[in-house]
Amino acid sequence: MPGLTCAALAVVVGCASASPSGTTTTGTGKSSSPSSSLTASASTATDAKRPVGEKIPASATAVTITEYLGLDSGAKPPSPVTVTAPARVRELATAINGLALFPPGAFNCPASSADGLKLEFSAGPGKAPLAVATDLLSGCPQVGVTIDGKQQPTLAGLSAATIFKIADLPWTVPSGSGMG
């Protein structure tokens, strides 16, 4: 977790004010969707412009999801979960691959609680990650992606509720995340 905190602080320096909204998830796993978490421009226009080498590889057949809660949450995060259902793994990869690039420049961001999710895409459970997506859920929500250990351009944030819904996880969205 200390690595995530440092990474969160380093990433928050160049934030944007715009963030996608998402669905809300209750502790029962039920979801409601007041608005889509991906805008049309985020899921189509930028996806076509990003080279294949900047996307989650199609060879990923498993994704391990780990939730990190900020220092002030007082709650214990759930244990990491590995998703192996092919359709769910593909949908998670597609959701991340379809995110807009994070806009360049300096922005005035809300304070970050350091809440986040780490998605490790691999060729199977227990195998080394092919790609890692770290989704900051507060401050200026954004996704840092590494593929084969190489940092890729930062992407706009994806809501925790969207990730939990795709992965069919009954987790609750961190209360201070702002990314319900």
- In SS3 terms, the chain reads as CHHHHHHHHHHHCCCCCCCCCCCEECCCCCEECCCCCCCHHHHHHHHHHCCHHHCCCCCCCEEEEEEECCCCCCCCCCCCEEECCHHHHHHHHHHHHCCCECCCCCCCCCCCCCCEEEEEEECCCCCCEEEEEEEECCCCCEEEEEECCEECCCEECCCHHHHHHHHCCCCCCCCCCCCC
The string of pLDDT tens digits covering residues 79-131 is 999 999 999 999 999 999 999 998 877 777 766 667 889 999 999 999 999 99
How high does pLDDT run on average in the chain?
A: 73
Looking at residue 17, its pLDDT comes to 30
